[in-house]
Amino acid sequence: MNQLSWARLLAALCVALLIAGCGSKGGTEQKGGATVESRDIGEQQRATDEQRAADAKRAEEERRRQEAEARRLAEEKRKADEAALRAAEQPVVKPLPSATVGEKALSDAATQLKDASGPLSKRSVYYDFDMYNIREEFQPIVEAHAKFLLEHKDVKVRVEGNCDERGSREYNLALGQRRADSIKRAMTLLGVPAKQIETVSFGAEKPKAPGHDEEAWAENRRSDIVYIGIDSPQ
Amino acid sequence: MTTRAAAQLTIEIVGGGANQIPITLVPFGMEDKQPQRLSEIIAADLNRSGRFKLQEPGSVRPFPTEPAEVNYRYWKNRGSQTLVIGRLAERNDGRLDVRFRLLDSAKESQLLGFSYTIAPAQLRAIAHKIADIIYEKLTGEPGVFSTRIAYVARNPDRFELQVSDADGLNSQFILAHREPIISPAWSPDGTRIAYVSFEQRKSIVFLHNLIDGGRRILANYEGMNSAPAWAPDGERLALALSKDGLTQIYQMRADGSNLVRLTFSSAIDTEPNFSPDGRSILFMSDRGGNPQIYRMSANGASVERMTFDGTYNVTPRYSPDGKSFAYVQRAQGRYTLSVMDFATRQALALTDNQFDSSPTFSPNGRMLLYASIVKGRGILAAVSSDGRIKQKITSAALDVREPAWGPLVGNR
């Protein structure tokens, strides 16, 4: 409470004391009519009590309503903040055209893709230094995603190629493209229409592991299979 | 202002050259009235080149500012062969008169002298200009102190494409974005920079005008768009695109028109770099099973392999005289800079660090600026083309990388 408010409160208290003073003086003068006075006061008191109870109930209801509203607003803000955060991470957000991915197909696809124990839970393929061929151990992953794409003609993926930080940035950018394109080629050889797969290279520019050792480099020599509209908004 | 200050580069000279030319910068008359001392900026430029041995002026007072005031016997006794004297004067219109003379104390004569009228804000620019003139007179090569450099600074929340003076000061960013920026390339006239930005979550080549700040997309084809390189005429660029499958080299006009494919390999071809006469292009290709450097004519004919030593030779850059090229070589797990002479095909190792990349020649061919990683942090460094002079360049940014040395411009 600021100084001005305190001053106002003090002024209000002084006025109240003055009024109280007048009242007690009046009471002393009207001693004779005490009975009538007291009955009236009793009735007034009952009415006031009833009024107060009703007011209190209304106030309580209002308080609960306001609390619920505040909770709702807070939840809305939290959701908006989360959405803004997600939007900041993915600066270009295009709404998913309903014609591209039907709601039923999407929910069906999303369920299968989000099954942590399912064959589609693995979305990354790793490479040896300066190589772009899909190692044997990663063939089943590529095949599982190809099979899924064949069964879900409305679903699209983006294959993102990455490299470790060493060497030429430009060669790494081209190598990342070749890595992503080699997965696309493997999938199209398995019958997936090319239009269901787009590719992009981030070269060495967006390392997932921040370190400068073999462990980080091995993690960063990687292609990610990203489901558009499910893993990523665009 | 904080952004600018944080982005400044600090240059530290690690090694000196042989046969340094002794020179004394005598404090200029009235220079104390300016925010920076003119003679100190000139001295710092000459010192940083590694080609001069700076000598103190000693006890002489007052400092001579005109030839008639010079006691040549004093300077000869101190072993000062060459002297720079000068003075500033404030004009009634608020501008400054600056004059300087380069003197030979053995011959007791003036080697050269110039005067300029400048706005006070041009103090650093005129100091670099004077350093260029002194450098050229004493070494026979053009000075590059008035040139600019571009580089990419990575900060916690964004990448910045910075342009600064060649001494690393006066830096300003021309583009900032949270997505990466790579491969800046100066137009031959120094008015435009082509670069690759990932701001649309894929690599796209942009052309940025430094005069009006305007920019436009040069190449946004399907797949990757990268590695812009200017032809010396400033009217064409070579670049690398993957729109037809594997990354190949193409050429276009500077307005983005007339796209022509130059290479037709079943491998990755990238990092084109035009020869100074515009007739040849060096590039990198893994067509032989691993990345090596090749040369072709500017129309894509007569491809010839240039490097055979080792299994990873990348990022070729022609020297300004066209007689050699710098490149990055991997050997024993280290990525270092070498320079190869076209006539002898002999390579000279220039650096012995762990992760060197992105070499860029100074316009006089004397120095190479490059990126390196020290203790997990990206820095810039420089080395003379004979490997003798070394500089380490640091910044307050998390990382600095992707240097590109701008051309010689102005009324030279």
Q: Choose, out of A164, A171, A226, the residue to mutate when testing the contact with B (most B CBs < 10 Å).
A: A171
Region B198-222: mean pLDDT is: 97
Are the beta carbons of A169 and B183 separated by less than 8 Å? Answer: yes
CB pairs under 8 A between A and B: 99
Q: What is the pTM of this model?
A: 0.81
What's the confidence (pLDDT) of residue A4? 53
Residues 6+ apart with CB under 8 A from B52: B20, B21, B22, B23, B46, B138
Q: What is the pLDDT of residue A116?
A: 77
Collapse the DSSP code of A44 into the 3-class scheme (helix H, G, I; strand E, B; otherwise coil) and give the result.
helix
Give chain B positions within 8 Å (CB) of A199: 223
Residue A38: the pLDDT is: 44
Residue B221 touches chain A, beta carbons under 8 Å: no
Average pLDDT of the residues of chain A: 78
Residues of A engaging B, defined by a Cβ cutoff of 8 Å: 91-92, 130, 165-171, 173-175, 177-178, 181, 199-203, 205-206, 211-212, 234
The pLDDT of residue B1 is above 70: no
pLDDT for B62 equals 95
Q: Sorting pLDDT into bands at 50, 70 and 90, what band is B85?
A: very high
- More confident call, B389 vs B297: B297
Residue B317's pLDDT is 98
The answer to whether the CB atoms of B291 and A168 lie below 8 A apart is yes
pLDDT beyond 60 at A7: no
Query: What does the pLDDT look like over A167-211, one tens digit per residue?
Result: 999 999 999 999 999 999 999 999 999 999 999 999 999 999 998
Read off the pLDDT of each residue in B373-392 and give the average, rounded to a whole number.
Answer: 91
For residues B100-124, b (16+ Cβ closer than 10 Å) or e, as one string?
bbbbebeeeeeeeeeeeebeeeebb
| In the predicted structure, residue A98 carries a pLDDT above the cut 60 | no
**Interface check B356 vs A, CB under 8 A:** no
Tell me how far the alpha carbon of residue B360 is from its chain's centroid.
6
Q: Which residues contact B399 (CB under 8 A, 6 or more apart)?
A: B153, B154, B377, B378
Task: Return the pLDDT at A61.
Answer: 85
Contact B218, B237 (CB under 8 A): yes
B residues 234..293 contacting A (CB < 8 A) = 240, 242, 245-247, 268, 270-271, 284, 286, 290-291
**B183 to chain A: which residues are within 8 Å by CB?**
169-170
Does residue A100 register a pLDDT over 60?
no
pLDDT (average), residues A52-63: 82
Task: Point out the residue among B201, B268, B373 whose CB comes nearest to the CB of A175.
Answer: B268
Identify the structural domains of chain B with CATH numbers, from first to last: 19-139 (3.40.50.10070), 148-405 (2.120.10.30)
Percentage of the residues of chain B whose pLDDT score is greater than 90: 89
> Does residue A89 carry a pLDDT above 60?
no
Convert the pLDDT of each residue in B245-293 to its tens digit. Answer: 999 999 999 999 999 999 999 999 999 999 999 999 999 999 999 999 9
* Of residues A44 and A68, more confidently modeled: A68
- A210-224, B9-23, B137-151, B280-294 — which is least confidently predicted? B9-23
Confidence grade of residue B312 (pLDDT, cut at 50, 70, 90): very high
Pairing of strands A222-227, B21-25: unpaired
A203-228 exposure pattern, b = at least 16 Cβ within 10 A, e = fewer: bbbebeeeebeeeebebbbbbbbbbb
Cis status of the peptide bond prior to B62, with omega within 30 of 0: yes
**What architecture (CATH level 2) is domain A103-227?**
2-Layer Sandwich (3.30)
What pLDDT is recorded for position A11?
A: 56
Residue A104: is its pLDDT beyond 70? no
Whether the CB-CB separation of A87 and A95 falls below 8 Å is answered with no
Is it the case that residue A39 has pLDDT exceeding 90?
A: no
Please, are residues B48 and B16 in contact by the beta-carbon 8 Å criterion?
Answer: no
CA separation for the pair A87, A165 (Å, rounded): 27
Dist CA B163 CA B372 (whole Å): 19
pLDDT, one tens digit per residue, over B328-345 is 999 999 999 999 999 999
Which carries the bigger pLDDT value, residue B175 or residue B19?
A: B175
Using the Cβ of B357 and the Cβ atoms of chain A, whether some distance falls under 8 Å is answered with: yes
Per-residue pLDDT at A36 = 36
**pLDDT tens figures, B218-246:** 999 999 999 999 999 999 999 999 999 99
Predicted local confidence at residue B339, as pLDDT = 98
Test A173 with B203 for CB contact under 8 angstroms.
yes
A3 confidence band (pLDDT: 50, 70, 90): low
Phi, psi of B227 (to 5 degrees): 55, 50
Every domain of chain A and the residues it spans: 44-89, 103-227
Chain B residues close to A213, C-beta within 8 Å = none
- The neighbouring-strand residues paired with B53 are B22
- Mean pLDDT calculated for residue range B358-371: 97
Alpha-carbon span B55 to B385, nearest angstrom:
25
With contacts defined as CB-CB under 8 Å, which chain A residues touch B271? 168, 170-171
In the structure, how many helices (H) and strands (E) does chain A have?
6, 4
Point out the residue among B246, B290, B355 whose CB comes nearest to the CB of A178. Answer: B246
What is the mean pLDDT of the segment spanning B312-321? 98
- The larger pLDDT score, comparing residue B270 to residue A19, is at B270
Task: Specify the pLDDT at position B10.
Answer: 78
Cα–Cα distance for residue pair B383/B389, rounded to 1 Å: 5
For residue A43, pLDDT beyond 80: no
Is residue B128's pLDDT more than 90? yes
Please identify among residues 121-140 of chain B the ones whose CB lies closer than 8 Å to any CB of chain A: none
Q: Is there a contact between B237 and B231 (Cβ–Cβ < 8 Å)?
A: yes
Interface contact B180-A206, CB threshold 8 A: yes
pLDDT given at position A54: 81
pLDDT at B24 over 50: yes
